[in-house]
Structure 1
C-alpha cells in the first residue's frame, strides 16, 4: 500500500504558526480599522467638495445642510440649443437628503479596505437626493414648451358618444423623460444642465388612430356597462361613461381604452350608493365658539384600482359587458377615539378675504370651502390641497371662470379657487404651522395681502402645509356671497405677527389692445419685490423669525377690442 509523503513535523509546525500569525494580523488590522473609524465619518470623506471626515454623523449632516443646502436651493439653468430656462429645484420636488448621504458615507467604515482608503486620501460620496417624481416630471414638462413644441401622441376622445380621432403630431425640443433624468443627475452638484435638442416623434400614426376611432372606439360605446357588487347592479349608459374614456397610445404605438375611473365613480356619485357607503371621519362642529365632537363611521367602497383594471375589457364586443366591482372596507382617517386625543379646543387662527358677488368664480370658492370644511389634519400630517380635493371638475359643482395661466387670464373649470388657497395660506401663516409649498401669483392681485398669498392649479403648483404641532388641526370654513373665511382650531403654541418691507424694485406695466373671443381684459399693475417676516412669539418673547421673499411681475393692461 503506497504511503503518502508527509512534511516533517518541524515544517508542519512552521505552517501552523504562519497561519496563526496571519489570522492574528488580520484580527489586529480589523481591530485597528474598528478603533480608527470609531463612530465617526471616515477621515478624508467628502461630498461634492465638502469635507465631513472625522465628524459625528449628526455634525456631518448639519454641515451638509449648511454648506450644500444653500447650493441645492439655487435655481438651475437648463439649456437646449440657443434657448434656456430656469428651474427651481424645490418646486420641482428635488431636495438634499443629508442624513441618507451621511449613512452612505458611514457604510462599511469598519472594513480593512475602508481603513486603507481613509489613510490614503479618503473618498468622495455622491450626495443622496429626495425626488418627488410627479413634481419633477410636471416641472420639466412645463419648461419643455420653452424649448420647442412637444410631440403629441394620437388618441381617440368622445364628443358625447361620438369617437373623435386626434391625430399625432411631430414635435421638436427636449424629451421630458430624458430632461428629468439629466436634471436629477446634475442636482445638487451642478446648476447648469445641457439638454439634447432635436426632433421628437410620437409612437402612434394617423392610420392607427383612424382605425381605432372607426372600430374599437365605436364598439366601446355601443351598449351600457353594468357595475355590480354584492348582488346590486348599476347600469351605466354610454353617455355617462364616454366622457371619462380615452383611447391612448401604448408602448408599441397602438391605442388602448383608458378610463379615468376616479372621475367616473365621482360623476356617478349617488347612483353608486347602493354599492358602496363612504366612511365618515370623526370631526368637530363649532357651536357657540366651542368645538363639539361628531363621531366617525366605518364604510365600504369600490376598489378603484381593481375597477380600473377591469373596465377596459368591458368595452369590447364580447358579452356580457358587466364588471364585478370589488368592495373593500373604508376606514375613517380619524376615528372617534383618535379625535378625542387631538387637543382641538381653541381657535389658533382665522383669516377672511373678500370678493365682488355673483361672478362664476364665487361658486368655485364656495364649492371648495364645502369640500374641506370639517377636515382634520393630524399631528405630523402634510395637507395637500390637490391631493385632498383632486382635479376641479363639473361633476362636483365647479364651473368655468377666469384664472391666471402664463401671465394671462384664461377661462378654466375651477378658476378662482386660488382665493380660497390664499385664505388658507394666511390661516397657516398665523396658526404658526409649517409652510411646505406655496406659489405666489405671477403678478400682484390687490385683494390679497402682498407677499402673503398663493395660487394653485392641478396637478401643479400645489399648496401644501404640514401640521408640525403635537395637536390636531380642524379646518373650519365659512362663506358669504362676498367673502370666504378659513379658521383653524387646535391648541395654541405661538402668537404670530406679520411684518412687511416696503415695495422695492418697482417696474411699470405696458398697455395693449387685443381681440378675439378668448380675450379677457386685465387692469394692469406694477411689478415689485417685497419681503414679509413671520414673527413667532411665546410668552411675549420672540422665539423665531421666518422670511418670505416674493417677486411680482408687471401685469399688462389689456383692452379687448374688435
Structure 2
C-alpha cells in the first residue's frame, strides 16, 4: 500500500522539527572545544565550563624560541586570551539547520576555541624580543697591525620576522602548545669578503707606502707612515665598496702646533690698584682641526701625497666674554717659598713662573702643570740643575722646578681648591713646609688640581732673586687653616761614599712620617677637614771622593 505523499512530508517535517526544537538554545550534542564536552549545555553554562577549563591554558607561560634566545611570557603579556562567548556562539551556529540537526543526532565535532588578540601588545612584546635577537651584520673593514693592512671579513646579521612570529605565537596558543619556534632570517652584509681582501692587498697597502705632507699658510708638516697606519681605517661606503677614514686625534695636537700661523691669545687679567681688569683675548690663525681627518682620508682616496689645508680662525681657550663672567674679584690665596740666590735652578724656577703667569683656570677645569708647561728643554730657556733621580741628585734640564710646584700646591691648599694629583719629595727639604709640598717631573709625576668652584681662578706669579710667589685670584669661598702632627716613625741617616764625576754630595736628612690637616671654615665654623699623610725616606749623607 502506498503511503500518501502528505504523510511522508509530515513525518519528515516532524523528524526535523522535533529535534530542532529540542536543540534550540543549547550547544549541539557531541560538541567538544579543546577536549571539553559542551554538548547539551545552554550558552551561559557552556561559557562557565569553558572558562574553567581554559583558565590553566590562559595562565600557562609560552616559551618563545628565536635563534637560541629563550623567553617565557604569560599569554596576557602577549595580549592573548580566549573569547569563550564567541567560541560558544560558533559552536551553536547552524545547530537548527537540517545539516546541524543531522550532525547532532548522528555525529560529533571538535572546534578550536576563538583566540582574542591585542595586536598592539603582541607586536610590542615581539619587538622587544627582537632587540635581544637581532644583530647587525659585521661589515668588512681594514685595520693595520704596524704597517701591515689586516682585513676584517664581513659576517651576516639576523633579524626576527615579527609578522611571521605573530602568526606562530597565535597558532601555538590556540593549539595548546607551550612553546613557539619563531622565524629568524639572515641579514647579509653589504660588502663581500672578496672586496675586502682585494682592497687590503692594493689600496690599503699603497696608502701607507710613504709619508703624507700637509701644508697650510706657508708652513709644512709630515704625517709619517706609522702615524698614517695608526689612524687609518677602511670602512664600508654604503655602495658595496670600502672608503678610507682617518682618526686624527693622535696627530692633531702636533700638527695644529706645527701649522699654526698666528697663535690665539687667551683672555687674562692685570691687577690695577688691587683689582683685576680683563685683558682681551685674540683669535689666531691655523688649521681647522676638525677638518684634518676628512682631509687626510680624502688624500688617501685620491692617491695624493700632499694636502693643502685651508687656514681657519683659531679661538682662544678663554675668550674676553668668558673672562668678564668668571667673577675673578679678589686674591683668595698666596704663598711664597725661598731659596738661595743665583744657582742654575733659580733660572728654571723663574722660567716656569713666567710660562704660568696669567693663566686662567675655568670652573670645573683641572690644571696640569705638565700639560700647561710641557717638557722642560733648553730651547725654551730651561737649564741643567740638580734633581732627585733614583735616590741620588743628578743634573737634568729643568731641575729645581719642583719648588714652583710646591709653591703652587700651597696656593691651592689655602685657596680651598681640589687636590687631584701631587707627590711629595722622596726626601724632606727644609725650605718647604713638611707634608705640604709637591715634586714634579716630565711626564710624571705631574702636579694637578681642579677648580671645583663656580668662579674662574687667575694664577699670578712673581719672584725675586731669593723667592718665588704664587697668587690665586678668584672669589673667596673658605677660610683655610693648616694643622700638623709631630714627626713620627723617624728613621736615621745612613753614611755613604761614592766616586766619579757625576757624584753630587748629599747632606743627609732623617726620614719621618707626618700628617697635615686642611681645615675649611665658613663664617668661623668648621665645615670640613682633609688629611694629607706624607712619608719621607731618610736621605743618606753622601760623600763624593775624587775619581
Q: What TM-score do you get using the length of structure 2 for normalisation?
A: 0.54
Do the aligned residues in 1 keep the contact of 2:338 with 2:467 (CA within 8 Å)? yes
* Alpha-carbon distance between aligned partners in 1 of 2:381 and 2:499, rounded to the nearest angstrom: 31
Do the aligned residues in 1 keep the contact of 2:508 with 2:539 (CA within 8 Å)? yes
Deviations along 1:86-138, one digit per CA (max 9) or x if unpaired, are: xxxxxxxxxxxxxxxxxxxxxxxxxxxxxxxxxxxxxxxxxxxxxxxxxxxxx
1:491 to 455, 475, 479: 475
SS of structure 1 residue aligned to 2:518: strand
User: Could you say if the C-alpha distance between residues 491 and 559 of structure 1 is closer, same or farther in structure 2, counting changes exceeding 3 Å?
Assistant: same
Q: Relative to structure 2, which stretch is displaced further, 19-28 or 284-293? A: 19-28
2:285 is aligned to 300
1:286 is aligned to 271
User: Could you say if the C-alpha distance between residues 27 and 16 of structure 1 is closer, same or farther in structure 2, counting changes exceeding 3 Å?
Assistant: closer
Do the aligned residues in 2 keep the contact of 1:355 with 1:482 (CA within 8 Å)? yes
Counterparts of 1:408-557 in structure 2, within 5 Å, are 408-557=392-541
Instruction: Give the CA deviation at 1:477.
Output: 0.9
Q: Unaligned 5+ residue runs, structure 2?
A: 1-31, 39-45, 63-72, 79-209, 231-249
* Alpha-carbon distance between aligned partners in 2 of 1:246 and 1:404, rounded to the nearest angstrom: 38
Residue 373 of structure 1 pairs with residue 357 of structure 2: yes
2:239 is aligned to none
Residue 338 of structure 1 pairs with residue 322 of structure 2: yes
Deviations along 1:49-73, one digit per CA (max 9) or x if unpaired, are: xxxxxxxxxxxxxxxxxxxxxxxxx
Instruction: Give the CA deviation at 1:368.
Output: 1.3
SS of structure 1 residue aligned to 2:346: helix
* Alpha-carbon distance between aligned partners in 2 of 1:363 and 1:486, rounded to the nearest angstrom: 16
Instruction: Give the CA deviation at 1:22.
Output: 3.9
SS of structure 1 residue aligned to 2:427: coil
Instruction: Give the CA deviation at 1:321.
Output: 8.4
Counterparts of 1:163-178 in structure 2, within 5 Å, are none
User: Could you say if the C-alpha distance between residues 27 and 384 of structure 1 is closer, same or farther in structure 2, counting changes exceeding 3 Å?
Assistant: farther
* Alpha-carbon distance between aligned partners in 2 of 1:308 and 1:391, rounded to the nearest angstrom: 27
Deviations along 1:415-455, one digit per CA (max 9) or x if unpaired, are: 11111000000000111111111100011011111111000
Do the aligned residues in 1 keep the contact of 2:405 with 2:447 (CA within 8 Å)? yes
Do the aligned residues in 2 keep the contact of 1:495 with 1:536 (CA within 8 Å)? yes
SS of structure 2 residue aligned to 1:547: strand
User: Could you say if the C-alpha distance between residues 233 and 505 of structure 1 is closer, same or farther in structure 2, counting changes exceeding 3 Å?
Assistant: same
Residue 228 of structure 1 pairs with residue 215 of structure 2: yes
SS of structure 2 residue aligned to 1:486: strand
* Alpha-carbon distance between aligned partners in 2 of 1:529 and 1:558, rounded to the nearest angstrom: 22
Counterparts of 1:22-421 in structure 2, within 5 Å, are 22=60, 26=74, 228-229=215-216, 232-234=217-219, 276-302=261-287, 324-325=308-309, 327=311, 329-421=313-405
Instruction: Give the CA deviation at 1:406.
Output: 2.4
User: Could you say if the C-alpha distance between residues 474 and 27 of structure 1 is closer, same or farther in structure 2, counting changes exceeding 3 Å?
Assistant: farther
* Alpha-carbon distance between aligned partners in 2 of 1:414 and 1:27, rounded to the nearest angstrom: 75
Instruction: Give the CA deviation at 1:541.
Output: 2.1
User: Could you say if the C-alpha distance between residues 366 and 28 of structure 1 is closer, same or farther in structure 2, counting changes exceeding 3 Å?
Assistant: farther
Instruction: Give the CA deviation at 1:16.
Output: 5.4
Residue 20 of structure 1 pairs with residue 58 of structure 2: yes
Deviations along 1:372-409, one digit per CA (max 9) or x if unpaired, are: 11111111221111222222222322222211122211
Do the aligned residues in 1 keep the contact of 2:330 with 2:473 (CA within 8 Å)? yes
Q: Unaligned 5+ residue runs, structure 1?
A: 31-219, 252-258
Deviations along 1:215-242, one digit per CA (max 9) or x if unpaired, are: xxxxx99xxx98631xx42478xxxx9x
SS of structure 1 residue aligned to 2:350: helix
* Alpha-carbon distance between aligned partners in 1 of 2:460 and 2:495, rounded to the nearest angstrom: 41
Instruction: Give the CA deviation at 1:12.
Output: 7.9
Deviations along 1:12-56, one digit per CA (max 9) or x if unpaired, are: 8677544433479949999xxxxxxxxxxxxxxxxxxxxxxxxxx
2:187 is aligned to none
SS of structure 1 residue aligned to 2:476: coil
* Alpha-carbon distance between aligned partners in 1 of 2:218 and 2:53, rounded to the nearest angstrom: 84
* Alpha-carbon distance between aligned partners in 2 of 1:433 and 1:29, rounded to the nearest angstrom: 55
Instruction: Give the CA deviation at 1:300.
Output: 2.8
User: Could you say if the C-alpha distance between residues 334 and 545 of structure 1 is closer, same or farther in structure 2, counting changes exceeding 3 Å?
Assistant: same
Q: How well do the aligned residues superpose, as a CA RMSD in angstroms?
A: 4.2
Instruction: Give the CA deviation at 1:510.
Output: 1.4
Deviations along 1:312-351, one digit per CA (max 9) or x if unpaired, are: xx9xxxx998664564542222222221121110000001
Do the aligned residues in 2 keep the contact of 1:307 with 1:326 (CA within 8 Å)? no
Q: What TM-score do you get using the length of structure 1 for normalisation?
A: 0.53
Deviations along 1:454-510, one digit per CA (max 9) or x if unpaired, are: 001122211111111111111111122221110000111111111112222222111
User: Could you say if the C-alpha distance between residues 20 and 485 of structure 1 is closer, same or farther in structure 2, counting changes exceeding 3 Å?
Assistant: same
User: Could you say if the C-alpha distance between residues 473 and 415 of structure 1 is closer, same or farther in structure 2, counting changes exceeding 3 Å?
Assistant: same
